[in-house]
Structure 1
Amino acid sequence: MGLLYEEAGPAAAAGSQLHPVIKAFLCGSISGTCCTLLFQPLDLIKTRLQALQPSDHGSRRVGMVAVLLRVVRTESLLGLWKGMSPSIVRCVPGVGIYFGTLHSLKQHFLRGRPPTALESLMLGVGSRSVAGVCTSPLTVVKTRFESGRYGYESICTALRSIYHNEGHRGLFSGLTATLLRDAPFSGIYLMFYSQTKGIVLHGTDQLDAAFVPAVNFSCGIFAGILASLVTQPADVIKTHMQLSPGRFQWIGQAVAFIFKDHGLRGFFQGSVPRALRRTLMAAMAWTVYEEMMAKMGLKC
Structure 2
Amino acid sequence: MNREGTSKIILPSVSLAAGGIGGAVEAAVTYPLEFAKTRMQLGTVKTRNPFVVINHVVRTEGLPALYKGFPNVILGSMGKNAIRFVSFDAIKNVWKDAETGELTPTRSLLAGMTAGVVTSIFAVTPTQRIKTALIDDGGGERRFRSGLHAARVMYQERGLAALYYGFSGTTLKAISATGVRMGTYNILKDYEHSRNIQPKMSTSFMNGAVAGFVTTYATQPFDTLKTRCQTSNGASTVEAFRNIMADGGIRVFWSGSIVRLGRTILSGGILFTVYEKIAAAMPPLLGAK
Which category of TM-score, normalised to the shorter sequence, fits these structures?
0.7 to 0.9
Q: Which residue of 2 aligns with 1:116?
A: 104
1:44 corresponds, among 29, 35, 57, to 35
What residue ranges of structure 2 are gaps of 5+ in the alignment? none
Are positions 1:139 and 2:128 aligned together?
yes
Correspondence 1:187-266 to 2 at 5 A: 187-204=179-196, 207=198, 212-243=200-231, 248-249=235-236, 251-266=237-252
CA distance in 2, matches of 1:77, 1:154: 16
Distance 1:32 1:111 in 2: 29
CA distance in 2, matches of 1:62, 1:274: 11
**Are 1:277 and 2:263 an aligned pair?**
yes
Question: After the TM superposition, which residues 62-141 of structure 1 pair with which residues of structure 2 at under 5 Å, given as runs?
Answer: 63-110=49-96, 113-135=101-123, 136-141=125-130
The alignment yields a C-alpha RMSD, in angstroms, of 2.3
What's the offset of the Cα at 1:66? 1.9
Q: Note the C-alpha offset of 1:107.
A: 2.0
- State whether residues 11 and 287 of structure 2, in contact with CA within 8 Å, keep that contact through their aligned partners in structure 1: no
Structure 1 outlier segments of 4+, above 6 Å: none
CA shift for structure 1 position 3: 6.1
Query: What SS does structure 2 have at the residue aligned with 1:41?
Result: helix
Q: TM-score, normalised by structure 1?
A: 0.84
**Partners of 2:97 and 2:103 within 8 A in 1:** no
Give the C-alpha shift of residue 245 in structure 1.
5.3
| Maintained 8 Å contact 2:41/2:255 | yes
The residue that corresponds to 1:23 in the other structure is 14
The Cα shift of 1:201 comes to 4.9
Q: Which residue, out of 143, 159, 179, partners 2:151?
A: 159
Cα offsets for 1:30-49 (capped at 9, x unmatched): 11111111110011000111
Q: Which runs of 5+ in 1 are unaligned?
A: 6-18
Native 8 Å contact 1:173 1:245 kept in 2: no
Q: Would you say the 8 A contact 2:42–2:228 is kept in 1?
A: yes
Change over 3 Å in CA distance of 1:62–1:293 after alignment to 2: closer
How much has 1:138 moved relative to structure 2? 1.9
Aligned residues: 276
User: Could you say what secondary structure the match of 2:230 adopts?
Assistant: helix
Distance in 1, Cα, partners of 2:219 & 2:257: 10
